[in-house]
């Protein structure tokens, strides 16, 4: 039975979870492990090549069973099917949510509005592959006949964070003869620093913008075109060899001066933050080559299939999503730390921030009613071991509960002496210390002076997941991203929110427009803002003109 119209907190499983939480809230992870020594083997899941150890969560078998029931009562099965069927589950924008079609293998069928979209997806992938091979081989020449050595992706939000993250994550697999840079901020410094040491004759810009109207991206693209033309003798036709576009908006692309033959399409049914595996990932394909990009898609697809078919209790994204609900809504954790123990994943937390918080940072249900509990926690993080020497202090001994996702790989891509064993020793030790802590008795037994004992004791009982995979390959990266994408979806379904709109971000796109002429206009404007905004604007105008 689905309780589609029953508020979350009235669902039977929710009430049972509340009662269950009262029962186990004081049980320490030390006790949970002592009472059930096998939980470290049992509360794990090995699926689609990803191993998840969730035993260090403050949860029991009963918790998992109640959470599973919550998923059933929340209509998760029907929601998953609706997404894969191409239904318009992004209700506030009346859009389908079909990022799973971006990685559907050739020959499969995913229908939207009566049409199979998979052939369109592969047509774009083939076009990207052909272009990438030409650039990588040097066959694609710049306006002056020189080969391309630098690629600059201009985009922001979903058209930037995924490409940057994937480039960094897969750098090991990238063509080192090509330089990649990413410009997103409307702050001129971003573009200035990205271009200052480059030769326009060897530089290709990818203007990545679904809408091709985003202020930051269009401003950067215009300035990049000026830079390019200046360096290429001012001939407008030079742009054709140095600019390509990724967009849904052919008219705007043509207006900008990019040949639509060099435009790579995306679709309305791909959300920005779910688009790094579409043509928005052109920079990823240019860097790593079509084969690696296909492996990335294959990894995504394996996780999609696991998510679509595995029973909830053996389903990685479902378990991760449900445990996130448990930590957030029952244990009251306000944030989640994502801690990849792999330097290549240094931008993964930033990428996840958009995926999680833009998707689930909502305060009303799909029916427009205020939610009755917290929605998305704040995601943050840095690669280990670096974070250990800074903010881990708060995670270990602060007053807040911060569940952690540790991500690690059995094999290093750069084996170097003892480095990898030391890295792995740290990730295991951190998860262990967070869970079990160090009692005052243990500290005392080490000969610590009494007054120092409280400072050196660790309460423990800090929950964490450990995600372990064999090696950071394009395929593994695809699995990892899809794991989080679907975990975000699971949480959104439980909260009954629209995880695929972003009205807060849309607001940002229009807010500044009113102020721009007030800053740029030659005449002192008559300002109608509040007194604070008015005087900031006047002060800026005065100071910039002196």
User: In the complex, which residues of this chain contact ligand G6Q (CB under 6 A)?
Assistant: 156-159, 209-211, 214, 217, 271-273, 358, 502, 505
**Per-residue three-class SS string for 142-202:** CCCCCECCEEEEECCHHHCHHHHHHHHHCHHHCCCCCEEEEECCCCHHHHHHHHCCCCHHH
| Structure-token pair, residue 450 | 């009494």
Of residues 97 and 345, the one with the C-beta less far from ligand G6Q = 97
Catalytic residue among 41, 235, 389, 544: 389
3-state helix, strand, coil in the chain (%, to 5): 55, 10, 35
| Residue 344 vs 500, nearer CB to ligand G6Q | 500
Tokens 């949860």 map to which residue? 59
Catalytic site residue 389?
yes
Which residue, 209 or 228, is less far from ligand G6Q as judged by CB?
A: 209
Is 202 one of the catalytic residues?
no
Cα 449 from chain centre: 46
Question: Least distance from C-beta 128 to ligand G6Q, angstroms?
Answer: 17
Nearer to ligand G6Q, 217 or 329 (CB): 217
Burial 88-123 (b: 16+ CB within 10 A, else e): ebbeebebbbbbbbbbbeeeeebebeeeebbeebbe
Q: Shortest Cβ distance from residue 166 to ligand G6Q (Å)?
A: 15
| 271 versus 290: smaller Cβ distance to ligand G6Q | 271
Catalytic position from the list 202, 358, 475, 518: 358
Helix (H, G, I), strand (E, B) or coil at 487: helix
Closer residue to ligand G6Q (CB): 74 or 502: 502
Q: How near is the Cβ of 140 to ligand G6Q at its closest, in Å?
A: 24
60, 32 in Cβ contact below 8 A?
Answer: yes
H/E stretch holding 447 reads none
Minimum distance from residue 103 beta carbon to ligand G6Q (Å): 18
Residue of this chain nearest to ligand G6Q (CB atom) = 157
DSSP 462: -
**Minimum distance, C-beta of residue 318 to ligand G6Q, in the bound complex (Å):** 23
Across 345-361, b (16+ Cβ under 10 Å) vs e yields bbbbbbbbbbbbbbbbb
Nearer to ligand G6Q, 507 or 543 (CB): 507
Closest to ligand G6Q by CB, 73 or 501? 501
Q: What minimum distance in Å lies between the beta carbon of 502 and ligand G6Q? A: 5
Which CB, 208 or 329, lies closer to ligand G6Q? 208
Least CB distance from residue 497 to ligand G6Q, whole Å? Answer: 15
171-177 — which CB contacts under 8 Å span 24+ positions?
Answer: 171/287, 171/344, 172/344, 172/413, 172/414, 172/472, 173/287, 173/288, 173/289, 173/292, 173/473, 173/474, 174/287, 174/288, 175/136, 175/286, 175/287, 175/288, 175/289, 177/149
Q: How far is the CB of 22 from ligand G6Q (least distance, A)?
A: 38
Dist. CA 196–CA 192, nearest whole Å: 6
Question: Is 127 one of the catalytic residues?
Answer: no
Per DSSP bridges, beta strands 50-53 and 464-469 are antiparallel
- Smallest gap from Cβ 221 to ligand G6Q, in A, equals 10
And the tokens for 452? 């120092």
Dist CA 273 CA 45 (whole Å): 27
Q: Is the dihedral of CA 366, 265, 282, 120 positive or negative?
A: positive
Separation of alpha carbons 188 and 191, rounded Å: 6
Residues in contact with 143: Cβ distance below 8 Å, sequence separation at least 6, in sequence order: 201, 232, 235, 237, 238, 240, 241, 242
Say if residue 340 is preceded by a cis peptide, omega within 30 of 0: no
- Known catalytic residues are 358, 389, 509
């Amino acid at each position: 039975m689905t309780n589609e119209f029953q508020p979350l907190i009235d669902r039977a499983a929710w009430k049972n979870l509340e009662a269950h939480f009262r029962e186990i809230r004081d049980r320490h992870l030390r006790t949970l492990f002592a009472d059930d020594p096998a939980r470290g083997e049992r509360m794990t899941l090995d699926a689609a090549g990803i191993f998840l150890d969730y035993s260090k969560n403050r949860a029991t078998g009963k918790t998992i069973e109640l959470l599973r029931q919550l998923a059933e009562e929340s209509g998760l099965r029907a929601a998953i099917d609706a997404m894969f069927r191409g239904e318009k589950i992004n209700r506030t924008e009346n859009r389908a949510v079909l990022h799973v079609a971006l990685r559907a293998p050739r020959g499969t069928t995913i229908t939207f509005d009566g049409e199979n979209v998979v052939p369109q997806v592969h047509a774009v992938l083939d076009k990207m592959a052909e272009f990438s091979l030409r650039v990588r081989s040097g066959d694609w020449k710049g306006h002056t006949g020189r080969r391309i050595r630098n690629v600059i992706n201009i985009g922001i939000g979903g058209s930037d964070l995924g490409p940057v993250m994937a480039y960094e994550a897969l750098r090991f697999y990238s063509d080192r003869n090509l330089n990649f840079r990413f410009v997103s901020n409307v702050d001129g410094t971003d573009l200035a620093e990205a271009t200052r040491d480059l030769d326009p004759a060897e530089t290709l810009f990818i203007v990545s913008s679904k809408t091709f109207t985003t202020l930051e991206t269009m401003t950067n693209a215009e300035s990049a075109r000026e830079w390019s033309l200046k360096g290429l003798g001012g001939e407008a036709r030079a742009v054709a060899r140095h600019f390509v576009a990724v967009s849904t908006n052919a008219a705007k692309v043509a207006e900008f001066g990019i040949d639509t033959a060099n435009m790579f399409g995306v679709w309305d049914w791909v959300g920005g933050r779910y688009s790094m595996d579409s043509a928005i990932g052109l920079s990823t394909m240019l860097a790593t080559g079509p084969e690696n990009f296909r492996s990335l898609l294959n990894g995504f697809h394996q996780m999609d299939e696991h998510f679509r078919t595995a029973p909830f209790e053996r389903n990685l994204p479902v378990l991760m999503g449900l445990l996130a609900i448990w930590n957030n809504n029952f244990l009251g954790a306000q944030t989640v730390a994502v801690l990849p123990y792999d330097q290549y994943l240094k931008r993964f937390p930033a990428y996840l921030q958009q995926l999680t918080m833009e998707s689930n940072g909502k305060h009303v249900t799909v029916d427009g009613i205020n939610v009755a509990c917290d929605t998305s926690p704040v995601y943050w993080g840095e690669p280990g071991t670096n974070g250990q020497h800074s903010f881990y202090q708060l995670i270990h001994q602060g007053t807040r509960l911060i569940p952690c996702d540790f991500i690690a790989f059995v094999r290093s891509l750069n084996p170097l002496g003892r480095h990898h064993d030391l890295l792995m020793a740290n990730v295991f030790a951190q998860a262990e210390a967070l869970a079990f802590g160090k009692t005052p008795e243990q500290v005392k037994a080490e000969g610590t002076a009494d007054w120092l004992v409280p400072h050196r004791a660790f309460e423990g009982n800090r929950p964490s997941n450990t995600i372990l995979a064999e090696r950071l390959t394009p395929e593994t990266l695809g699995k990892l991203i899809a794991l989080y994408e679907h975990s975000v979806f699971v949480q959104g379904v439980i909260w009954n929110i629209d995880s695929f709109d972003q009205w807060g971000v849309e607001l940002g796109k229009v807010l500044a427009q009113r102020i721009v002429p007030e800053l740029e206009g030659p005449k002192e404007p008559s300002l109608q803002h509040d007194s604070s905004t008015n005087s900031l604007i006047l002060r800026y105008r005065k100071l910039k003109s002196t």
